[in-house]
Amino acid sequence: MTSGTIAGTRWLTAEEQVRWRAYLNASVRLMNALGRQLEQDSDLSLSEYEVLVQLSESPGRMMRMSQLAAEVVNSRSRLTHTVRRMEERGLVERQSCADDGRGVNCVLTPAGFARLEEAAPGHVAAVREHLVDRLDDEQFRTLGELMDKVGEALRDS
Amino acid sequence: MTSGTIAGTRWLTAEEQVRWRAYLNASVRLMNALGRQLEQDSDLSLSEYEVLVQLSESPGRMMRMSQLAAEVVNSRSRLTHTVRRMEERGLVERQSCADDGRGVNCVLTPAGFARLEEAAPGHVAAVREHLVDRLDDEQFRTLGELMDKVGEALRDS
DNA sequence: GTCCTTTAGTTGATCGTTCAATAAGATCAC
DNA sequence: GTGATCTTATTGAACGATCAACTAAAGGAC
A42-93 per-position pLDDT tens digit: 999 999 999 999 999 999 999 999 999 999 999 999 999 999 999 999 999 9
Domain ranges, residue B135: 14-148
At B42, the amino acid letter reads S
Whether the pLDDT of residue B6 is over 70: the answer is: no
- B35 neighbourhood in chain A, CB within 8 Å: none
Is A2 within the bounds of a domain?
A: no
> Among residues 121-140 of chain B, which lie with CB inside 8 Å of chain A?
121, 124-125, 127-128, 130-132, 134-135, 139-140
| Burial category of B151 from C-beta neighbours within 10 Å (exposed 0-12, middle 13-18, buried 19 and up) | buried
Whether the pLDDT of residue B76 is over 70: the answer is: yes
> Among residues 12-71 of chain B, which lie with CB inside 8 Å of chain A?
12, 15-16, 18-20, 22-23, 25-33, 53, 56
Is A3 within the bounds of a domain?
A: no
User: Which bases in strand C are touched by protein, i.e. have an atom under 7 Å from a CB?
Assistant: 7-12, 16-21, 24-26
Domain count, chain B: 1
Chain B residue at shortest CA distance from A21: B144
Q: What angle do CA A16, A20, A24 make, to 5 degrees?
A: 170
DSSP H or E stretch at residue B105: strand B104-108
User: Which bases in strand D are touched by protein, i.e. have an atom under 7 Å from a CB?
Assistant: 7-12, 16-21, 24-26
Is B6 within the bounds of a domain?
A: no
Is A13 within the bounds of a domain?
A: no
Task: Kindly determine whether residue B127 and residue A23, on different chains, have CB atoms separated by under 8 Å.
Answer: no
Say if B111 is an interface residue toward chain A (CB within 8 Å).
no
Is A1 within the bounds of a domain?
A: no
**Closest by CA position to A21, among listed B140, B76, B115, B19:** B140
Q: How far is CA B150 from CA A40, A74, B31, in A?
A: 22, 25, 18
**Count of A–B CB contacts within 8 Å?**
170
Task: Kindly determine whether residue A121 and residue B9, on different chains, have CB atoms separated by under 8 Å.
Answer: yes
Is A9 within the bounds of a domain?
A: no
Is A142 within the bounds of a domain?
A: yes
Q: In this predicted structure, what is the pLDDT of residue A156? A: 79
Is B24 within the bounds of a domain?
A: yes
**What percent of chain B lies above the pLDDT cut of 70?**
96
Whether the pLDDT of residue B75 is over 60: the answer is: yes
Task: Please provide the DSSP assignment of B33-53 as one string.
Answer: HHHHHHHHHHS--HHHHHHHH
Whether the pLDDT of residue B5 is over 60: the answer is: no
Whichever domain contains A35, its CATH number is: 1.10.10.10
Whether the pLDDT of residue B38 is over 80: the answer is: yes
Write the pLDDT tens digit of every residue in B83-116. Answer: 999 999 999 999 999 999 999 999 999 999 999 9
Average pLDDT over residues A116-141: 97
Q: Provide φ and ψ at A154, rounded to 5°.
A: -105, 15
Whether the pLDDT of residue B7 is over 80: the answer is: no
